[in-house]
A and B are shown apart, each in its own frame.
Chain A
Amino acid sequence: MKFQIPIGPQHPALKEPISLRMTVEGEVIRDADIRLGYNHRGLEKLAEEKNWTQNIYLTERICGICSHSHATCYVQGVEKLMEIMPPRRGLYIRYLVSELERVHSHLLWLGVAGHEAGFDSFFMYTWRDREIVMDLLEIISGNRVHYAMNCLGGVRRDIDEGQKAKILEGVATLRKRSEYYFRIGATEPTFVARIAGVGLLTKEQAVRLCAVGPTARASGITRDVRKEDPYAVYDELEFAVGTSDLCDVLGRVVVRVQELLESYKLIEQMIHKLPDGDIAVKAPRKAKPNEVVSRYEAPRGENMHYIKSNGTEKPERLKVRAPTLANYPATIEMLRNGFIADIPLIFAAIDPCICCAERTVTLVNFHSGEETTVSLSDLRRMADERRTNAPAKRNAVWPF
């Protein structure tokens, strides 16, 4: 007998409101449907009424976790429209903050994934380490979240020798701790057995449904905007793109861990190569009529902004496409033929940033059409039971 179960806008597993309606048959999900709209804030219309500088603060608040990504993507595009080029030191500082944000976002996600899989100690450890990164960001910019480092033409604040030494020290501590935890995580058989084989997405499906970011890279597609469309300083730095062929949640964990280690390398390179000079140039108030497509690799995938100007000091059109929206069709595909107890894990695996695109979960009975509500604490309990009963099938061999 098929059911439809709603997982409503307020639930503890996902920190944001979203509605999914899952059509289930017993424990297996047959179909899923996503209802967006709870987080829709009408940003694109609002952006047409504010000028270029005010829009930096507006785009920053699209998302709290990837706030610098949206602001930088926007500022990159507008600097092209205004035909100004920020000085090299400004660019290095801007992308240094980007890499620090990537570190903080991946540590956050690892904690959330551990929490969804029932491994709460992992959650507490990674979030404690994340506080090191938050301190570094606070030293550089003045705020833990929403750093507002960008201004049109460069960055707002400079970093000095003491801050550089602190950053290197923090990254060295983090690297030691990360390698230690990941060795523990890789050999913890219940954790691996819980996440292996869950949320399968083959390479053809990922290509057909236009998936982005670590979700696609875990299915073997090697695409990273920093390598294929290098903006600003990334063509002078050396790093590798993390991929995996596992196509499931374990693959996504592996890819994000690889990206963490690459980010530590990138941060150290940037600090050592930081050039001298100014940090910003003055930007004009108006931009000539033109259009620009700006792409950026956020921690969750590719972030794309399309900006069109008409010669005044307000944009004519700002279109934002956040990576989580691009991963939705892929998520529905992953949920099919999965178990109800896996819903929080599969959802957490694409690293949902629902405020970038939003949802809720509803499960609907297939045959009779009646609706029942399953609270997420029940789902979490089902997930924990499944974890304790799962056979310890395999030990992951981490590819590094």
Chain B
Amino acid sequence: MLNKLVRWSRIKSPWILHLNSGACNACDIEIVAALTPRFDVERLGVLLKATPRHADVIIASGPVTRQIKDRIVRIYDQVPDPKFVIAVGACAMSGCVYRGAYNIEGGIDQVIPVDVYVPGCPARPDAIIDAVVKLLGKL
């Protein structure tokens, strides 16, 4: 019974953590734009949290640089279970234009397991909201 309650609250109000791993910022401002009055995810219960320990969903953008690889793994470990990862943008999926550069490992899935991929360069805020909704539909 308690499990059902907890599961319901997780689906109705996921708290997100925004992780930028070396991106050009375009996807990040689209993620922040999803909070602003035109798209407004806060009315759906989605809150942007400051620390990994409070979050349910990690929204990650950017190709993974060598320097930040360990930090991403550490942050992923700090998020309590059950956790989900959304990779936003072409850079987070496979590296976009930076594939082949000496400091880039590739997409986010080279470092942590990813549940949802959102294509686009940058991904529109509508697409990001769609991704969160699709993720919740799978739970």
Contact = CB atoms under 8 A, between A and B. Distances in A.
Q: Do chains A and B touch in the complex (CB under 8 A)?
A: yes
Given A40-B67, A41-B65, A15 B28 contact: yes
Interface stretch (B6-14, B30-38, B130-138): B30-38
A62 B98 CA distance: 10
Given A17-B22, A375-B50, A43 B101 contact: yes
Contacts of A388: none
A380 B104 CA distance: 32
Contacts of A39: 22-23, 65
Contacts of A43: 98, 101
Interface of B: 18-30, 32-33, 36-38, 48-52, 63, 65, 67-68, 71, 75, 96-98, 100-104, 121-122, 124
A37 B30 CA distance: 24
A17 B68 contact: yes
B88 to A, nearest CB: 12
Contact of A65 (B21, B25, B37): B25
A41 B28 contact: no
A42 B22 contact: no
Given A42-B104, A57-B97, A10 B75 contact: yes
A339 interface: no
Interface of A: 8-12, 15-17, 37-43, 45-46, 49, 57-58, 61-65, 67, 108, 124, 127-128, 130-131, 144-146, 353-355, 358, 375-377, 380
Given A41-B63, A145-B30, A124 B37 contact: yes
Contact of B26 (A12, A46, A64, A128): A64
B48 to A, nearest CB: 7
Contacts of B124: 144
A116 to B, nearest CB: 13
Contacts of B121: 61, 146
A10 B76 CA distance: 11
Nearest to B17: A10
B25 A353 contact: yes
A41 B22 contact: yes
Contact of B100 (A15, A46, A376): A46
Given A9-B71, A17-B20, A40-B65, A45 B102 contact: yes
Contacts of A375: 50-51
A128 B67 CA distance: 35
Nearest to A42: B101
Please name the 10 residue pairs, one residue from A and one from B, whose CB atoms are nearest each other, closest first. A64-B26, A42-B101, A377-B50, A64-B25, A127-B36, A12-B50, A145-B26, A42-B103, A128-B37, A37-B67
Nearest to A126: B36
25 contacts: A10-B75, A15-B18, A15-B20, A16-B20, A17-B20, A17-B68, A17-B71, A37-B65, A39-B23, A40-B22, A40-B103, A41-B103, A42-B98, A43-B101, A46-B101, A49-B100, A57-B97, A62-B24, A64-B23, A64-B27, A65-B29, A127-B33, A127-B37, A128-B36, A355-B22
A144 B20 contact: no
Contacts of B19: 10
B28 A64 contact: yes
A108 B30 CA distance: 12
Q: Which of A39, A42, A355, A358 has the most CB of B within 10 A?
A: A39
Contact of B29 (A57, A64, A124): A64
Nearest to A354: B25
B65 A63 contact: no
A8 B67 CA distance: 12
A105 to B, nearest CB: 10
Contacts of A353: 25
A393 B71 CA distance: 42
Contacts of A130: 36
Contact of B28 (A8, A16, A127, A380): A16
Given A42-B98, A355-B24, A12 B104 contact: no
Contacts of A10: 19-20, 52, 71, 75
A8 B100 CA distance: 27
Contacts of B29: 15, 64-65, 108, 145
B71 A67 contact: no
A130 B32 CA distance: 12
A46 B21 CA distance: 19
A8 B70 CA distance: 12
Contact of A355 (B18, B25, B97, B102): B25
Nearest to A55: B97
B104 A17 contact: no
A358 B121 CA distance: 21
Contacts of B24: 61-64, 67, 355
Contacts of A62: 24
Nearest to B121: A146
A68 B26 CA distance: 12
Contacts of B103: 40-42
